[in-house]
A = this chain, B = another copy of it.
């Protein structure tokens, strides 16, 4: 029962025959049980007409018209990766490739349309991730402006493939036109509270790509440890890491993370949070932190970065010069959250400085003084910066392209209103602190968040460029991070990618159960949503 369709244009498709399904699966779950796209594409049509994919014959190839070709290693790698996701260990036998059946889908042609496919580039905040996918025997076509959109489309294509009762891969006749609702869709991992071995980070980058996340916010250092190995200041990790050899990220480790992420269309934004959250910095750099006083004497403990010494700013200038060279992304996250004033208050030199500057007893002015100088230092490296909301709240003068991250749950809507009202772009993480675990299906809580649900003009709403799911590191390390993050973060992935109208929880549940099993099949130990089983259970321990 093949269904013929004529399209005026591929993506202004009009359904003219019975059997097409549009966007929403509700009520038709049974019919297309196998199809479990996550996140839900913007425009989606599928029919019950199915084609078979043979590991012997099926290929992913560059379209003739594509600006990308075999020397585009990013795509070549992606072709292999998705072939393996779909067929696993099944071997290709070149010999029998000629024999093609009518019901076969024999190829996916990937057509990159821009003159520059960006094979060797990096994704950015401005990247166009849209793609168009048409599946119809004997060929499917994936069209995108650049490799980044092609990556998203490859993921979707692979999600359309399902096993029938014989274990044969099938795909239904489908047309998809897709693009993200928000440009910044991030995951924050924290490698300071616990060290995260490289392979844990890489596994989670893989899982991110399966969920169309495109930013790895790497909260790489903090009070507890400094695992980033700096070429300029090697003593930072030598004395600040949990262990100077086994618990550090070498320059080549960092490169590998960045390249592994790039291959999946993921930006790596490192966070070097100052002036608070810097205890571990103080181990390697003398005089960087403020000495705290007990009465008239130094207590032997230290507070935030010392904002009254020129040496602090000289250090930061050198340090961020290195960071801006090591990390290719246009943005660096500079932190700026939770600065504790007690140590500054105890220190008589800081007191004098406050007086000289006319700050009175308002230590937030001192904080702003530090941050302002830091921002100017980083701006001079030609990087943009992201900051936690306190920096904005304290009235620091920010560059126009600053991204303010709203993380405090209390009065979140008011903060979004204020930040966007002041004309700054913002991302939301307040509702998505995934380190706060609880019994049951908390993914639903994350899923129900509507990021634009705050009072503001259309112009203000446009300044919300995305959000982040944050898994802070107090209680996670290599033993439990991955199953705790997935599929809970998948709820955030769909909220940030799919249309605002995609809010049906029971439909989402059905798709997410299968998406979770797909991640498991691909080797990611994503935890179960609820009772049940996967066709292919987790094979690790």
A residues neighboring B (CB under 8 Å):
193-195, 197, 199-200, 203, 224-225, 242-243, 246-247, 435-440, 473-480, 482-484, 520, 525-528, 530-533, 535, 537-538, 540-541
A477 contacts B528, CB within 8 Å? yes
A526 contacts B479, CB within 8 Å? yes
B541 contacts A478, CB within 8 Å? yes
A480 contacts B475, CB within 8 Å? no
Nearest B residue (CB) for A536: B246
A-B contact pairs, 30 of them (CB 8 A): A193-B531, A194-B528, A194-B531, A195-B537, A197-B537, A200-B541, A224-B532, A242-B532, A242-B533, A246-B537, A247-B537, A436-B439, A437-B437, A437-B439, A440-B475, A473-B531, A474-B531, A476-B528, A477-B527, A477-B538, A478-B537, A478-B538, A478-B541, A479-B520, A479-B540, A480-B480, A480-B483, A480-B525, A482-B541, A540-B541
Q: How far is the CB of A472 from chain B (nearest CB, A)?
A: 10
A479→B246 CA distance, assembly (Å): 26
A478→B531 CA distance, assembly (Å): 13
A479 contacts B473, CB within 8 Å? no
Nearest B residue (CB) for A194: B528
A535→B245 CA distance, assembly (Å): 11
A533 contacts B479, CB within 8 Å? no
Query: 7 more A-B contacts (CB under 8 A) besides A194-B532, A479-B520, A540-B540?
Result: A197-B537, A203-B541, A224-B531, A439-B475, A477-B528, A478-B541, A540-B541
What B residues does A474 contact at CB under 8 A?
530-531
What B residues does A528 contact at CB under 8 A?
194, 475-477, 479-480
Nearest B residue (CB) for A223: B531
A191→B416 CA distance, assembly (Å): 46
A533→B525 CA distance, assembly (Å): 22
What B residues does A532 contact at CB under 8 A?
194, 224, 242
Name the 8 nearest CB pairs between A and B, nearest first.
A480-B483, A479-B525, A242-B533, A480-B527, A193-B531, A478-B538, A479-B483, A479-B538
B194 contacts A475, CB within 8 Å? no
A537→B477 CA distance, assembly (Å): 9
Known interface pairs A439-B436, A541-B199; A527-B483 also in contact (CB < 8 Å): no
B473 contacts A480, CB within 8 Å? no
| Max chain B Cβ within 10 angstroms of own Cβ: one of A200, A476, A527, A531 | A531
B440 contacts A439, CB within 8 Å? no
A440→B193 CA distance, assembly (Å): 14
Nearest B residue (CB) for A227: B533
What B residues does A243 contact at CB under 8 A?
533, 535
A136→B471 CA distance, assembly (Å): 48
Q: How far is the CB of A188 from chain B (nearest CB, A)?
A: 16
A106→B518 CA distance, assembly (Å): 52
A289→B436 CA distance, assembly (Å): 41
Q: How far is the CB of A200 from chain B (nearest CB, A)?
A: 7
What B residues does A203 contact at CB under 8 A?
541
Among B225, B436, B475, point to the contact of A527 (Cβ < 8 A).
B475
Among B440, B531, B541, point to the contact of A525 (Cβ < 8 A).
B541
A531→B476 CA distance, assembly (Å): 8
Q: How far is the CB of A535 from chain B (nearest CB, A)?
A: 8
Nearest B residue (CB) for A486: B479
A538→B199 CA distance, assembly (Å): 11
What B residues does A538 contact at CB under 8 A?
477-479
What B residues does A242 contact at CB under 8 A?
532-533
A438 contacts B437, CB within 8 Å? yes
Nearest B residue (CB) for A516: B479
Nearest B residue (CB) for A525: B479
Nearest B residue (CB) for A193: B531
A194→B483 CA distance, assembly (Å): 15
A435→B530 CA distance, assembly (Å): 12
Q: How far is the CB of A390 from chain B (nearest CB, A)?
A: 22
Q: How far is the CB of A408 from chain B (nearest CB, A)?
A: 17
A473→B527 CA distance, assembly (Å): 12
Q: How far is the CB of A526 from chain B (nearest CB, A)?
A: 6
B438 contacts A476, CB within 8 Å? no
What B residues does A535 contact at CB under 8 A?
243
A526→B541 CA distance, assembly (Å): 12
